[in-house]
Structure 1
Amino acid sequence: MTTTVSRPGAKRAAIAARTLRTDRWWLAPLITFAGLSAWVLYATVRVFMHKWYYVPDYHYLTPFYSPCLTDRCIEGSAEFGTPLPSFWLIPEAAFTLPFLLLFRLTCYYYRKAYYRAFWLSPPACAVPDAHAKYTGETRFPLVFQNLHRYAFYAATIISVINTWDAIRSFGTGFGLGNVILSANVVMLWAYTLSCHSCRHIAGGRLKHFSKHPVRYRFWTFVSKLNARHMLLAWVTLGTLALTDFYVMALAAGWWPDLRFIS
């Protein structure tokens, strides 16, 4: 029989066994670790490649390089000018990438994901934390998780920019690239709007929904998306990587775009 040992003043139960769980509890954090690590590696390489990000013939611009702001931007890819120098450590989308990274890092779902997968804090339910002390998000650097609500506003602006990129790509006809860019934008909006901060902004402080019917309808819509926030978090990682890879393949000349209307 397993006994539970308690200490006066202890903040967590001291369990003699590593865990009482008999299932493969380690599989979920392992998959999360592998998935997030692979995506971060791919995104990092692509951001600092500084090439194969724009297809001039069809105005396809990968979201990893939007908006393009350095003076090495290919002609036609810089919608907002080129105020940044072409130093290799400066990404083309240097003004937007930090905000997108902050939005993802402080996302409620991603916090759970990387806390469990990378920090083992805790690795799973009913499994002891790998750290001796628990301070929550009250100390540096986790105290900056409270910036999530502000990162949401920045992510909304960036989603508008990505939407414009998708709309602009229809100026030369209609191809598979348009479908991929548009689908990515739709999923990005779904993920952004499913954010807990967006749900709170929509109706979190309303005391009488009946007096705010428009906000109530929007809150209801956002709440449905919010129930799928974890799924959308992973789907958008996939659509971002797929969109970038497809644009890269076209820009590098690996294969031509499938055109439906020229």
Structure 2
Amino acid sequence: MTPPDAPDNRWSDLDRPPLNAPALRRALVRPGSLWTSLEVVRETGSTNSDLAARAAGPDAPGEGAVLVAEAQHAARGRLDRRWTAPPRSGLFVSVYLVPGPGVPQERWGWVPLLAGVAVATGLSRAAGVDTALKWPNDLLVTVAGEERKAGGILAERAGEGIVLGIGLNVSLRAGELPVPTAGSLALAGAVTTDRDPLLRALLRSLEQWYGDWRAAGGDPVASGVQETYAAGCATLGRRVRALLPGEREVTGQAVALDGDGRLVIASDDGGRQPVGAGDIVHLRPAQAG
């Protein structure tokens, strides 16, 4: 018999039951779907690292492989920043996508922004929570009138495609937050913190947005990705300070996203500076000039 306090015991935390992998596979892995396999593991270091290693190996998965962990002990964000959360308190998922050959590689940089749109629209329907996007890869919710980070997105080249990772705080309580500025769906008043329907909604939304984008040859305008991202981006219209490598920085108002997904900053010196996600170290609010 499984001990009642074992991490994989269904009754060890009644508020945080484990994901139902067979039911998720029945719902998502079906003929004609983008998703071709779905695996749930009890714990790992990083789902992105695991899936990237598989993609680079001799037994690389096909497009649409999904790897989900109930807990991660070495989760990574952009620039190897660490992400921690209690077991079964969130969604920690990575998927393998192969946009080519129909999408030019210069447009692959839209994948993490597309994922942000998919997560925001999927959660709006499934959790009843408005999710804003902080460029380039943060998911924000409102808790007690404040914008707080509840998740993040990490895209990495691997094998012939991209490993896309999504981390989302679902049921974290105030005392469990890694930093005071973090948030979760529960703290934002979500109508449900049941991770099974949330994961289904997230992956179905991602399948739709990715499919439309790929059908448009990766064109962010024709697919609607650029317009929808801009509409939900909390960064646009605000004064920001972009910290760049070599201790350089650009301060000004974030005014647009360009066709490559870069943030365009109307700098204080009167110019317009596009900044790519791969070029930036930090993006911080700036005081009004």
**Category of TM-score, reference length = shorter chain:** under 0.3
Q: TM-score, normalised by structure 1?
A: 0.26
Structure with larger Rg = 1
Tell me which protein shows more strand as a share of its residues: 2
TM-score under structure 2 length normalisation: 0.25
Q: Which has the larger share of helix?
A: 1
Name which structure has the greater RCO, CA cutoff 8 Å, separation 6+.
Answer: 1
